[in-house]
Structure 1
């Protein structure tokens, strides 16, 4: 905006100056023509009496004579003195008779190259004609126009600097308002200070703050709904699962025990599915970021430790030497990591460890051995309930949840098969953008 206003106003001032110069040039040219015409008349009226006296006092008749010049010089005004028949009686030393007409005339007249004024005396028997080159008039008008344009060379940079300074000073509060929005983290939904903004920009600040307030309420409502739903769903499912397990120990019939076992497995699958759906709701609800930075290394260590206690020797962990601080919400990061590791353990080769590593720039990589996932299936794994061709149990939501959290935090989840540096296997790599770090 500052650049557009500065350049636009400078061009506008320059254009107005050019229009003013053009108008002033036309007026100046008109006034100079009047001055030059007056000079022609005055010259003719001054020279004519002297020429008549000189001609009448000649002893040798009316032969042509050339007025002597005191010293060599360029004449802008030249003249001829002739009789009514066009016979030349007197001329200035630099006069060209070819410029004038065959017969003398009174008043103003123009030729292609000269402006001429004629006057008569002695009962219209002696005429004087004074000529001025039109090129001299054009040169004078051009010099006047150039003189008016010369200040524009200095005026343009001064105007540009002045306009830029005034615009910058006027929009200082607007620039501060923009910087206050740009500098805040992705999870900062606090109100934006806009009390010193110009009147034209105050409605924008009000609208932004209202939007942030509505978004904050929506996120808080979503988080509250997720927490309450998790409690309300998991408790009845856990109760039903416990009753099914108790019933399984009380029945004696093998057929009935088998039926109860099927019910128990269905309840366990339903409990796991409900948990995944709640995780997906949290991931897609905008709660992937927080307003403060958190160190992700301890969280990753804790989650890997939980899996290591369940499946000893199946996970190889590589951690950075320094802390990795991020605006990524700790709960969301835990859900993301847990889903990636579960996916690797469930679908990877049981004979090879799952490699989990994090670098100092926040890049998380989870890879496992196993069969290669075809490219046409690989692009579908981010979708809900999408699974590759495998006999392993699962809901098909793990990678969808991880991808939703990554997008919500401004991160990118890369899926590769084969894994980097291998001929087989699968790899999930999470890279941080500048906003998410």
Structure 2
């Protein structure tokens, strides 16, 4: 089952990343600020509750003294509702547990926390939680307990938090606006590159030019320009190859037409036979050229799948096959052919090995003089297997050896049935197999061609 890829925007995704990161940062910072503010607020409120206890105790001692001086028998005294309001309440006890004074909302039956416990505590009564502070007074004879409702204490913090969240809208909006503007400027080079590529013609392979692209985009632009350069170079080679191939085909065809005209107007059987022989020779040359072009095209098309088609190839069998095809040339030249295959098998493409041996041996047989000698051998040298072909021909000057790999290059040779594509085919085989080819002086006096294949144990 195929799933279609959903379109997505890099600009939108980057904006979302920046927005989410900024929002998370602001919320985390706001949370930390809220926690710190709440802690500080609790400390300040506890300090205020402590001051309130001291103040109430100071005034209450005087009032209790007046009550005792008036000779009242009932010591419990209740303050009015307006004394502290609903937020605070207090109780004053003797150290023996007798209630002396309490606020309007405070209980008259039991203390808000154990009388032995002093300091701060959180207690729950009347279904509400209170922050309670207790301290001793009058030389330890009295204990005052002051309580503050936590709901009323926390409500101002909640209001401040709502204001803080409301004010977050402004910085988040600014962050989104600034990020969007910066992204548009930063990604402008992508839009420029896309516009250049979409507007150019299929044959326009000039480099993509962008004004001050970001560092992250430069590798992609450089890769595209490098690809264009390679395509342009390949197309230039193909155009040159096509032009030269057309020229090379035109020459034998023109010769065939001329010899056919001569044969058509021959005045004697001898002239007719000579013209027909030249026609046959031209046909053979054109046929050989077409075969070479087809071999080159087949090898170049198969090079991309060389790894998949490799297997252990019997070099001895390949050599015998090529020798059977070129046997007539060997017999006519009376050549001495020697072979020594210390490594009879090489991991390679069958097609590639066949084309390599056919062209290398074909060149050796053609350029070795009558009665000459050609030696082919294989041997393992470390991590490589060397295929070596020596001949006793004229050889190739050292400064001209690189030129033989150029297409249709014959180093000034005239006549014969060569077309200058054999070594180009050999080079394509070498490249497809990640091998190395070297042209050297041969011990036989002619040329040594050595192809070194990576050794692969099978």
- Normalising by structure 1, we get a TM-score of 0.53
Equivalent position of 1:55 in the other structure: 64
Separation in 1, partners of 2:187, 2:202: 25
Aligned structure 1 segments of 4 or more residues deviating by more than 6 angstroms: 256-281
Q: Secondary structure at the match of 2:50?
A: helix
The CA deviation at 1:265 is 9.6
Segments of structure 1 that go 5 or more residues without pairing to the other structure are 282-437
Q: Does 1:68 align with 2:77?
A: no
Tell whether the 8 Å contact from 1:194 to 1:202 is kept in structure 2 after alignment.
no
2:121 is equivalent to residue 109 of structure 1: yes
Question: How is 1:236-255 mapped onto 2 (pairs within 5 angstroms)?
Answer: 236-240=252-256, 242-244=258-260, 246-247=262-263, 250=266
**Counterpart position of 1:378:** none
**Aligned with 1:180 (options 172, 196, 202):** 196
- Aligned counterparts of 2:289 and 2:143: Cα–Cα separation in 1: 124
Structure 2 residue 39 is the aligned partner of structure 1 residue 27: no
The 8 Å contact of residues 95 and 115 in structure 2, kept in 1 or not, is answered as yes
What is the CA distance between 1:27 and its match in structure 2? 1.3
Corresponding residue of 1:100: 112
Deviation at 1:207, TM superposition (A): 4.6
Would you say 1:4 and 2:4 are equivalent positions?
no
Q: Which runs of 5+ in 2 are unaligned?
A: 1-9, 300-458
- Post-superposition CA distance 1:410-434 (Å, at most 9, x none): xxxxxxxxxxxxxxxxxxxxxxxxx
Alignment of 1:303-314 (within 5 A): none
| CA distance in structure 2 between the aligned counterparts of 1:197 and 1:49, rounded to whole angstroms | 76
Larger RCO, structure (CA 8 Å, separation 6 or more): 1
2:147 alignment partner, SS class: strand
CA shift, 1:270, in A, is 9.1
Give the corresponding residue for 1:85: 96
182 and 257 in structure 1: CA distance in 2 versus 1, 3 angstrom threshold: closer
Contact 1:116 1:130 in 2 (8 A): yes
Q: Deviations over 1:293-352 (max 9, x none)?
A: xxxxxxxxxxxxxxxxxxxxxxxxxxxxxxxxxxxxxxxxxxxxxxxxxxxxxxxxxxxx
**Who is 1:148 aligned against?**
164
Please state how far the C-alpha of 1:224 moved relative to its aligned partner.
Answer: 1.8
1:187-206 pair list within 5 angstroms: 187-198=203-214, 201-202=217-218, 204-206=220-222
* Residue 148 of structure 2 corresponds to residue 132 of structure 1: yes
Aligned to 2:186: 170
Q: Distance in 2 between matches of 1:67 and 1:121?
A: 19
Report how far residue 146 of structure 1 moved.
3.2
1:81 is paired with a residue whose SS is strand
Q: Does structure 2 conserve the Cα–Cα contact (< 8 Å) formed by 1:84 and 1:126?
A: yes
Between structure 1 and structure 2, the one with the greater Rg is 2
Q: CA RMSD in A?
A: 4.3
Change beyond 3 A, Cα 1:87–1:52: same
How many residue pairs match? The answer is 282
Displacement after TM superposition at 1:210 (Å): 4.1
The corresponding residue for 1:322 is none
Aligned to 2:179, the other structure's residue is in SS state helix
Q: What's the counterpart of residue 46 of structure 2? A: 37
Contact in 2 for aligned 1:76/1:132 (Cα 8 Å):
yes
Q: Decide whether the 8 Å contact of 2:192 with 2:210 is kept in 1.
A: no
- 1:165–1:29 Cα change, 3 Å: same
What TM-score, normalized to structure 2?
0.51
- Residues of 2 paired with 1:44 and 1:271: CA distance? 114
Q: Which residue of 1 aligns with 2:24?
A: 15
1:57 counterpart SS class: helix
Please give the alpha-carbon distance, in whole angstroms, between the structure 2 residues aligned to 1:123 and 1:279: 113
Q: For 1:80-119, what per-residue CA distance to the aligned partner results, in whole angstroms no more than 9, with x for missing partners?
A: 1122232222211122466712436432223352221112
